[in-house]
């Protein structure tokens, strides 16, 4: 059932996820590609196109309505000095790299649009960044799948060990709670 859903909707999920902050979706899609449920090349291509379009969309929001967006979403205003500083010091690298910086995947293009970067320059370096980002994260998902299959013989032992550890932690927690409860009932 889940495999059929991934087969039917996997690329659409990659597109939607990559349009916004999609690292987790792309890692999962890379893993699904390793399992043969999706094609790795299509995962990377769909993610690159969707990520490019998503960042272009957010860039135009910043370019068109930047001040209103900052007023409406104050957390963006907090990120503004950081992105603007990166743009001043490393103008092209900032456009490429903003998608790799935690918390700036959506805020970054909005702020770059507000900062007056020309549409052509943003489109060029945004596309280049997406062409690096998409295969990188899809590849990491693929490698995770590879590592998991290598460890699959040991997974059952690890799962049993983790289950035993979880049971011990729960028992210890309950014993401490019971002990504290009894101490609270004793007369002083």
The reply to whether 183 falls in a domain is no
The reply to whether 186 falls in a domain is no
pLDDT per position as a tens digit, 173-188: 878 877 776 665 555 4
Structural domain of residue 90, as residue ranges?
A: 2-148
The reply to whether 184 falls in a domain is no
The number of domains in the chain is: 1
Supply the DSSP symbol for 13.
H
The reply to whether 181 falls in a domain is no
pLDDT per position as a tens digit, 122-162: 999 999 999 999 999 999 999 988 887 776 666 566 666 77
Residue 48 burial (10 A CB sphere; 0-12, 13-18, 19+): buried
What gap in Å lies between CA 108 and CA 58, rounded to an integer?
A: 8
């Amino acid at each position: 059932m889940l495999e059929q859903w991934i087969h039917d909707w996997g690329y659409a999920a990659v597109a939607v996820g990559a349009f916004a902050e999609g690292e987790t979706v792309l890692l999962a899609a890379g893993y699904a590609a390793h399992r043969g449920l999706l094609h790795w090349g299509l995962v990377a291509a769909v993610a690159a196109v969707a990520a490019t379009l998503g960042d272009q969309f957010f860039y135009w929001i910043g370019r068109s309505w930047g001040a209103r967006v900052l007023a409406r979403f104050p957390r963006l205003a907090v990120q503004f000095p950081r992105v603007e500083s990166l743009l001043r010091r490393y103008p092209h690298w900032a456009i490429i790299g903003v998608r790799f910086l935690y918390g700036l995947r959506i805020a970054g293009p909005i702020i770059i649009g507000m900062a007056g970067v020309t549409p052509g320059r943003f489109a060029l370096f945004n596309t280049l960044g997406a062409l690096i980002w998409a295969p990188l994260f899809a590849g990491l998902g693929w490698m995770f799948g590879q590592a998991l299959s290598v460890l699959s013989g040991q997974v059952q032992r690890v799962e049993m060990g983790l289950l035993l550890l979880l049971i011990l932690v729960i028992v210890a927690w309950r014993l401490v709670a019971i002990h504290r409860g009894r101490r609270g009932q004793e007369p002083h």
